[in-house]
């Protein structure tokens, strides 16, 4: 059975929304010495809090 357009869209949303996929990106940004306000936002994103 081939995936439908809905299946593909759902898979894309799941991978882009999953917190585990955000962590490496946020960690990488934190290692690049961001400004304090940006750093706070990245740390919140890592913890998964809004």
Reported as a single tens digit per residue, the pLDDT across 2-11 is 878 888 788 7
Query: How many helices and strands in the chain, by DSSP H and E?
Result: 3, 0
Q: What percent of the chain has pLDDT over 90?
A: 0
Instruction: Please say if the pLDDT value at position 26 is more than 60.
Output: yes
Angle between helices 36-47 and 19-31 in degrees, nearest 10:
150
Q: Which two tokens stand for residue 18?
A: 């999953």
> What separation, in Å, do the N-terminal and C-terminal C-alpha atoms of the chain show?
38
Please tell me the pTM assigned to this model.
0.32
**Residue 15: helix, strand or coil by DSSP?**
helix
Instruction: Please say if the pLDDT value at position 45 is more than 70.
Output: yes
């Amino acid at each position: 059975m081939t995936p439908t357009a809905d299946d593909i869209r759902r898979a894309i949303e799941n991978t882009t929304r999953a917190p585990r996929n955000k962590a490496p990106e946020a960690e990488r940004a934190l290692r690049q010495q961001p400004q304090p306000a940006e750093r706070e936002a990245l740390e919140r994103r890592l913890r998964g809090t809004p």
